[in-house]
Structure 1
Amino acid sequence: MVTTGNIIGNTIGVILKKPFVIIFWGVMMLITTLMGYMLPIFRILFEFGTIGSSNLFETLMSLIQLIYSYLSDVRIVAICVIALLLILFSIAVIGAVLMSGYLYKLHNVVNRKESHKGEFSYGVRQYFNRICLMNFSLLVIGLIVFIIMTVASVPALVITSASIGKGREMLPQVLFVDVLTGFVLFFGMMFFRIYASFWYPAAISNKEKPFKNARSITNRHFWKIVVVFTIFDVIYIAFQVLFVKVDNSLLLLVLKWFFTSVFYALFTTYIFAAFKKYSKE
Structure 2
Amino acid sequence: MNILKVSIRSSVRRPVIIILPAVLALVFFVINSYNPIMPVILGISSATGGSFFEGVISALQLIMDPAIIPGITVFMAGVVIFASLLAGIILSGYFHIIRNTLEGIKKTKSDFKAGIKKYFLKISIITLKAALFIGLISCIMIVATVPAIIITRAATTTKPELMLAAIFVDILTAGVLFFGFMFSRVYLFYWYPAAIKNIKKPFRYAKRLVDRHFWRIVSRFVMFDIIFAIFIYLFMIIASAVLKLLFGWIFTTVFATAMVIYIFQSFSEIVISNGQNDRS
Q: TM-score, normalised by structure 1?
A: 0.86
Deviations 1:158-203 (A, max 9, x none): 1112112247522211111011111101111111110100010010
Shift of 1:16: 4.5
The equivalent of 2:230 in structure 1 is 238
RMSD value, Cα? 2.5
Distance 1:184 1:223 in 2: 16
Paired residue for 2:117, among 109, 115, 125? Answer: 125
Paired residue for 1:87, among 76, 79, 90? Answer: 79
Asked if the contact 1:7/1:277 (under 8 Å) is kept, the reply is: no
Shift of 1:18: 3.3
Asked if the contact 2:45/2:55 (under 8 Å) is kept, the reply is: no
Shift of 1:253: 2.0
Distance 1:163 1:147 in 2: 25
The equivalent of 1:275 in structure 2 is 267
Deviations 1:14-34 (A, max 9, x none): 334433211111121122223
5 Å-filtered alignment, 1:50-199, equals 51=46, 54-56=49-51, 59-67=55-63, 70=65, 73=66, 76-166=68-158, 168-199=160-191
When structure 1 is superposed on structure 2, of 236-245 and 50-59 the one drifting more is 50-59
**Greater relative contact order (CA < 8 Å, ≥ 6 in sequence):** 1
Q: TM-score, normalised by structure 2?
A: 0.87
Change (3 A) 1:67 1:181: farther
Change (3 A) 1:49 1:187: farther
When structure 1 is superposed on structure 2, of 25-34 and 258-267 the one drifting more is 25-34
Distance 1:136 1:168 in 2: 46
Distance 1:249 1:268 in 2: 28
Distance 1:133 1:62 in 2: 32
The equivalent of 1:20 in structure 2 is 16
* 1:249 lines up with 2:241 in the alignment: yes
The equivalent of 1:39 in structure 2 is 34
The letter of the residue matching 1:142 is I
Change (3 A) 1:110 1:52: farther
Alignment coverage as a number of residue pairs:
272
Asked if the contact 2:154/2:160 (under 8 Å) is kept, the reply is: no
Distance 1:58 1:233 in 2: 23
Deviations 1:91-140 (A, max 9, x none): 11111111111011011111111111211011111111111101111101
* 1:260 lines up with 2:252 in the alignment: yes
Shift of 1:67: 4.9
Change (3 A) 1:174 1:125: same
Shift of 1:150: 1.0
Identity, % of aligned positions: 31
Structure 2 unmatched ranges of 5 or more: 274-280
When structure 1 is superposed on structure 2, of 41-50 and 245-254 the one drifting more is 41-50
